[in-house]
Structure 1
């Protein structure tokens, strides 16, 4: 089934270059020149992925992502300038799945988009098969086929990358995984993202679980990495 990507950038040249690359890769391509147009397009056409520039007039990409996450779980790939690491990290914390730094190769953008879509399994396929592969630890339950995380039966809405991080930690009970190991789990060996991206995802996961009273889902080992917590609902001081 043909996947649809929405390209959002106020630079028509960037839209044109990316549209060509995605079209060549077999995507149906839609474009928007600003944030307001992008939000309207997502509502009307429900793309499989949004490629979103951070720095745009009228409504920047961060605000677009914030509004999308209030009502939609469509995967988001940010386009970011080299000098705005704070914005990139904030974008991840708002729920973006990944980012590419400008100047970029159109092939890299398409490759990262494909990686997000492979991880997301957003297809209409039988998430219906839910109930097959379930990982449980304490009060935490992960439905790995339905891509659902639950705490005491209540769903916790995670992005694709967040879900994969929790699943990676749950798949290594008792082990501490370094940031490099977690990057490999998300993207494969040699994928160029920073440690801060992993840290931002972890903060986001903790916040979301904290909102439902879960404060012991992930433990930090300073200077080493992260591991799955006890998941019994009791925060461990200093963890």
Structure 2
């Protein structure tokens, strides 16, 4: 059973949500304060949690600072709860490394769907997934191992969030082709959701910084993105 950490100071939110999550074999633990949540995440294996849900409006520090703190030491999947209509909240959260966002108020089933999507991204490929993983992808200066969900850039290991890895893997599988923002969003989300094309731009920007000095991802104006590296023969 996946363990999910909810960091939200609304004491009325956690208990009914935890009951609902049990239907989907998800165990929800709530922390009412960021300091409590960070303490729970400390230790090997992210404190035993598989994903975390962060509210933006929190005591001690807001959800953005909390997201930044978590990302300093962990690549655990993060979903941020934002005020409805606050597009800037979503932009900032994604820029700081969140994997997804959901406006408040939300339907519990949609939150579960978002969680299931990010958890699938983080699941290592098993023996039966070899065909899907398609083995190691090697380019000039870049090595992507789908089975281990690991990336090496110019010989160094690069730590990526689940969303960053999936976007890079998607581009690598389509090397030489241009993928539009909508194509990328549809394949990454795994379910119908509001399209938010700026989200793709933000994740690509994060990826470019992590892959520096390699100039791996090219933008084609009004078209989309492509991985601009030469594939090495296998």
TM-score for both structures, normalised by structure 2 = 0.89
Given that 1:35 and 1:56 are in contact with CA atoms closer than 8 Å, whether structure 2 keeps it comes out as: yes
Given that 2:18 and 2:27 are in contact with CA atoms closer than 8 Å, whether structure 1 keeps it comes out as: no
Aligned counterpart, 1:31: 30
Aligned counterpart, 1:111: 113
Query: Post-superposition shift, 1:61?
Result: 1.2
Runs of 4+ in structure 1 off by over 3 angstroms are: none
Matched residue of 2:177: which SS?
A: coil
CA distance in 1, matches of 2:96, 2:165: 15
Aligned counterpart, 2:9: 10
Q: Which moved more, 1:44-53 or 1:105-114?
A: 44-53
Mind listing any 5+ residue stretches in structure 1 that lack a counterpart?
A: 233-239
CA distance in 1, matches of 2:2, 2:191: 26
The two structures, once aligned, show a CA RMSD in angstroms of 2.1
Matched, 1:222 2:221: yes
TM-score for both structures, normalised by structure 1 = 0.87
Given that 1:22 and 1:29 are in contact with CA atoms closer than 8 Å, whether structure 2 keeps it comes out as: yes
Matched, 1:70 2:80: no
Paired residues for 1:146-185 under 5 Å: 146-185=148-187
CA distance in 1, matches of 2:191, 2:39: 37
Matched residue of 2:226: which SS?
A: strand
Mind listing any 5+ residue stretches in structure 2 that lack a counterpart?
A: none
**Number of residue pairs matched by the alignment:** 224
Given that 1:178 and 1:224 are in contact with CA atoms closer than 8 Å, whether structure 2 keeps it comes out as: yes
